[in-house]
């Protein structure tokens, strides 16, 4: 039987995975998974559902390790890349919404 802290944090994360350029996969977080207190099952909470119906569930620790490994391999994102994206348009003439 697990302790109470195990049920407060998700044990796994749910992702939609899409294939990008150059055979890269992009993981989009869409939900989380928690273990039952008795250890016999899981609760899955999805914030969205992919159109193709495919959901990938990975352990939290596994994804943390993959991120660390990618950073060591020099697969870090360049800050300029975000600013130079073609799908980003300047918002000079767009409406402004304030809370």
For 27-36, write each residue's pLDDT tens digit. 899 999 999 9
Number of domains in the chain: 1
Of residues 63 and 25, which shows the higher confidence score?
25
Whether 89 is covered by a domain: the verdict is: no
Whether 92 is covered by a domain: the verdict is: no
> Around Cβ 7, how many Cβ atoms within 10 Å?
14
| pTM of the full structure | 0.57
Whether 80 is covered by a domain: the verdict is: no
Whether 96 is covered by a domain: the verdict is: no
Whether 58 is covered by a domain: the verdict is: yes
SS3 71: helix
**Nearest to 42, CA basis, from 57, 25, 21, 62:** 57
Whether 48 is covered by a domain: the verdict is: yes
Q: Show the domain range for 59.
A: 4-73
Of residues 63 and 84, which shows the higher confidence score?
63
pLDDT band for position 69 (cuts 50, 70, 90): confident
Whether 45 is covered by a domain: the verdict is: yes
61-89 mean pLDDT: 64
Whether 17 is covered by a domain: the verdict is: yes
Provide the CB-side half-sphere exposure for 21 (13 A, CA): 0
């Amino acid at each position: 039987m697990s302790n109470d802290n195990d049920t407060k944090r998700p044990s796994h994360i749910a992702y939609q995975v899409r294939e990008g350029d150059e055979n890269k996969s992009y993981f989009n977080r869409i939900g989380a998974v928690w273990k039952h207190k008795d250890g016999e099952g899981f609760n899955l909470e999805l914030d969205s559902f992919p159109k193709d119906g495919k959901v990938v569930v990975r352990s939290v620790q596994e994804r943390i390790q993959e991120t660390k490994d990618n950073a060591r391999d020099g697969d870090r994102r360049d800050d300029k890349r975000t600013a130079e994206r073609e799908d980003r348009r300047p918002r000079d003439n767009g409406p402004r919404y304030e809370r």
